[in-house]
Amino acid sequence: MPAAQKPFRVVIVGGGLVALTAAHIFSKANIDFVILERHENLLPEVGTLLNIWPPTFRILDQLGLLDAMQPNLNVVNRGVSMSAESGAIFAQIDPDVILTQNHGYGVRIVHRPHFIKALYQTLPDSAKERIKLKKHVVNVNVLDDGMSVECADGTVEEGSIIMGADGVRSRVRQCMQALAEGKPPLDRSQPSKSPYLTTFRMLFGNIPVPPGQEIGVNFEGALERVSTQLITGKSQAWVGIYEAVDKPTSERIRYTNQDKENILEKWGHLYVAPGLTVRDAFASHVGSLGLVSLEEGHVDKWTWNRIVLVGDAVRKLEPHAGLGYNSGVSDVTVLANKLRRLLRTEPSPTTEALEAVFTDYQSERKKLEPKVDGMSRRRARMTTWLSPMNKLMAKYIAPWTNLAYYSMQYITAPIVSRAPVLEWLEEKGLPETLQVPYLHHPIPEGMELEGSAKRSVSSRPSLSIYTGTVVLAALAAVGFQYYRRLH
């Protein structure tokens, strides 16, 4: 078929959370797609928790998914910072009230397998039919008017573009880099290497809500090079140990059951909540325990030719702040907006036109990248005390100055306010009055496409970064002087 008449089709490699969310978005945009997932099941073998941030709730609202997701969501009414060594509480905060006032939604916790299942079940049947399991992509090829991927079983899928949503060790990213450098494809038997760096590893499990523990609390225990966490939901709880590795590495580590037992033995005496030790909490775990490396970092190049990357294929965030999936949703949102705009004027776009869109997508998303990455890194290091300043901030300055509140107002709020939204879909649930206005809103019917996705709003977000820096610096100075007087 001539290029001018060839239907546009996206080949999505990877069938995780971001890919399934993309399936919903592309279905609403009437963009054809296929999903290739290497495993035989969409659900992970070991389930942990997932944080849903306010900008993602805006997208779920636009996709008509809020009601379907509601039964799976858990509110965090109280955040508790404490000593992992003694269980003594350093500080407490109610994040839900602050976030809801600022952004219309709070952060919700959900069991990852439940959320994946809900994303799949709410897809239209036509979208479910486009998901192909046991398709391990091994190579990518450039065609005259599109791209193709080869799978290990010998099948080939063709499309107009390839979207790599295949995670930390993205095969699409590897193939894209080889093509961009004019090199032959990597041997499919060659183990992939992560571009990210592992500084922490995490042991996690699912347990019943411990007797006597309040529902809706996030306990975070801090200590040198290790932290603990217990989050209590409506019908279950999630427990974890974050441990700094001896030496940061980009190598892939395969952990054994003995490794898990060693961590429990080493840190079993620590507290996950006042009066509740790691050993006692993990003793009631349901199902298998998970032990994973927590990579951090980003890649510089997100696109080449008709290939574009999203989610963990372009950045990996440490999970203390719970921003990983939410950042991937923002990737797909920006990409879908730009693709839909292009396809309305060029139903079968040229490679040059697609390259321009992908470059624009990369540039727009990278503007927020350092701030989101910084949020995640600070949160992880505050709870594991990787430096004396981390300990000083977590144990003394934060409790004495209400630092968590100021961080939410002057660091978190500007980042959340700049998150993208789907341009063409109605948003029904966002309150009209917010403490921190959003920068992006859907485009009303009939408005011009270019430039109308961004409305002029209060200047508070842009001023907040400056104000927050000044406030935090002052608080740090006061806290440090107080610390010196005590010691």
pLDDT of residue 189: 67
Helix (H) or strand (E) holding 269: none
Integer Cα distance of 218 and 233 in angstroms: 9
Residues 416/55, Cβ–Cβ less than 8 Å: yes
Class of domain 9-161+298-486: alpha beta
Residues 165-194 have a mean pLDDT of 87
Q: How far is CA 59 from CA 71, 105, 419, 430, in A?
A: 18, 12, 10, 11
pLDDT per position as a tens digit, 364-410: 999 988 899 999 999 899 999 999 999 998 889 988 888 888 999 99
- Mean pLDDT over each residue of the chain, to the nearest integer: 89
* String of DSSP letters for 5-61: TSPPEEEEE--SHHHHHHHHHHHHTT-EEEEE-SSS-SS-SS--EEEE-HHHHHHHH
- Whether residue 454 has pLDDT greater than 90: no
pLDDT per position as a tens digit, 325-346: 999 999 999 999 999 999 999 9
Integer Cα distance of 319 and 58 in angstroms: 21
Integer Cα distance of 177 and 192 in angstroms: 13
- Whether residue 104 has pLDDT greater than 90: yes
- Whether residue 478 has pLDDT greater than 50: no
Non-local (6+) Cβ contacts of 291 within 8 A are 201, 202, 203, 204, 255, 259, 260, 263
Residues 99-124 have a mean pLDDT of 96
| Per-residue confidence band for 234, with pLDDT thresholds at 50, 70 and 90 | very high
Longest dimension (CA), the chain: 78
**Residues 180, 181, 184, 187, CA torsion sign:** negative
Residues 200-227 have a mean pLDDT of 96
Burial 393-420 (b: 16+ CB within 10 A, else e): bbbbbbbebebbebbbbbbbbbbbbbbb
Nearest to 317 by CA among 297, 299, 333, 302: 297
- Whether residue 62 has pLDDT greater than 50: yes
Predicted model pTM: 0.91
Nearest to 411 by CA among 471, 476, 479: 471
- Whether residue 475 has pLDDT greater than 80: no
Integer Cα distance of 52 and 57 in angstroms: 7
pLDDT of residue 191: 64
Instruction: Give the start-to-end residue ranges of the domains of the chain.
Output: 9-161+298-486, 197-296
Min mean pLDDT across 268-277, 284-293, 474-483 is at 474-483
Nearest to 4 by CA among 144, 140, 142, 148: 144
Integer Cα distance of 447 and 42 in angstroms: 39
| Per-residue confidence band for 48, with pLDDT thresholds at 50, 70 and 90 | confident
